[in-house]
Each structure stands twice: as structure tokens, then as C-alpha cells.
Amino acid sequence: MISNIPRIKHSQTNNFFLMAGPCVIEGEEIALRIAERIVSITDKLQIPLIFKGSYRKANRSRLDSFTGIGDDTALKILAKVGREFDIPCVTDIHESNEAAMAAEYVDVLQIPAFLCRQTDLLIAAAKTGKTVNVKKGQFLSAGSMRFAVDKITDSGNPNVILTDRGNTFGYQDIIVDYRGIPEMRDFGVPVVMDCTHSLQQPNQASGVTGGKPALIETIGKAAIAVGADGLFIETHPDPANAKSDGANMLQLDLLEGLMTKLVRIREAIL
């Protein structure tokens, strides 16, 4: 169901697909370096890949948090990644007027979890004709995401992906209810598990979100076992010094080993 995305490779395999890359575009050199490594791994394992990078982070806890290197600069870097490696790219949009702008550079538009009920934003994304990946709000049930799908498809765009990123549990933790994956798959769209944001520890006293990256493998294994179509993983060669969400990102050097294990699980359940 993702074969309609331009430049997607290996879509004829029975593998899950992967949306992976840094949290935010920090610069051209590091974006290309991360993309090169991910492409090498996914080509080896025949995993369809969509490269991920936010051109701007609009939802930050503190005013002094890093938000980006400039919209135009970051979007041009994403476009270069797509051209150089012949792969599709995905980025977040935050307001309706960003949809057409971002659609000129990327193949998939992503709706952040906190914005998944914003009707005007969903319609604007749908009208671009691009595939729209909607992250499930931490505050919503899986069943509620049917209405997000309807808003996009009723706007004339059948190309929808839903991504689960866990549910708010108290003030500073998130849990994953794996029943939501088959429930959302029943809507007739691909369902992705966000293995990194589902391990966030938001609302820390410091104003910097925490995380539990040691459990990324656990989240990924369980998601594949219950039938997730894809995985979303933010990764960086040096998470401790990443400019955004480093506390829950996967160390890039660990990606190949993880993907190898998950491909085996996928093969076992088919």
C-alpha cells in the first residue's frame, strides 16, 4: 500500500517499511551521512525506506530549544537527500499554509500527533496529493483515528498512513497499547509504530524531554509481531549531542543489528 510513493524501493518484498532519519535537519553533511548509512542497511535487507527529517520543530518545551536551521535551507537538504539516494522523504508540517510549500520538496507529509485533529491542516495536506502520515495523538484512542483518515480520503486523497506513538500515562510517561495496531489497520491504511517517540518521557522539570532508548528494540519487536506495516525510528550518529530529541533516539551504529532481528521476526510471522 506504499508502492504509490515515488522512488520507494523494495516495495515488492514482504518486509515492513521503515521511516528513519534524524529528528531535525541539522545540516547538509550530517543529513547525507545519516541517509547514506540507512540506505546501505535497508538496501542490504530489502526494506522499503522513507527518509525522515523535520525541517522545523514547532513543538518545543522551552523558548531556547533548537527549532531548525531555516525552513528553506532544511527543505532543500531534504530534497537533495531524495535526489542523491533516489529515495522518498517525509517531513512534518504544522500549519495549513506549510503543506504546499513542503510538498514541493518531499514525498510524504507528516501531521504531528498534537495536531492530528486539526481539520484544516489535514485537508491542506490531502489537497497536495502527497501521501499523508498522521501520527496518533497521545490523547486519543486508536479508534478515533478513523476520523483523521476520513478527513483526508473525503478530501480526495486515498494515500494515508497512520502512526502510533503511544498514549499519555500520567504526566511524564507514555505507554503503548498494541491493540491499536490491528484496530487501525482495519481502516484499510498502513499502520506504523513510532519506536522512539513512544519511549519519550515528556514534561520533565528541566524542560527537556527524556527517553528510554534501551527499549527501542522491545517496542520494534512487539510491533512487528502484532502486524505493524512499518516502523518509525529517529536515529543519529551521536544522540547525546543531537540538537533535538537525543534522549530517545537510536544510536545509528545500532540500526543494522536491530533491522536484521526485526526482518527475521517479520519472516517468522508471515
Q: What is the pLDDT of residues 141-178, one digit of tens each?
A: 999 999 999 999 999 999 999 999 999 988 878 999 99
Q: Are 144 and 150 in contact (CB under 8 A)?
A: no
Find the mean pLDDT for residues 51-55.
96
Across the range 80-105, mean pLDDT stands at 97
Check if CATH label 3.20.20.70 holds for domain 17-269.
yes
Plot region of 160 (φ>0 → left; ψ -120 to 50 → alpha; else → beta): beta
Kindly state the percentage of the chain with pLDDT values over 90. Answer: 83
Residues 6 or more apart whose CB falls under 8 angstroms from that of 154 comprise none
d(CA 148, CA 59): 20
Question: What is the CA angle 64-196-16, rounded to 5?
Answer: 140
Which residues, listed in sequence order, are joined to residue 162 by a DSSP beta bridge?
Answer: 134, 191
Residue 139, CA atoms < 13 Å, CB-side half-sphere: 7
Query: What's the grid cell of residue 231?
Result: 516502523
> pLDDT grade, residue 210 (50/70/90)?
low
Average pLDDT taken over every residue of the chain = 92
pLDDT tens digits for range 39-52: 999 999 999 999 99
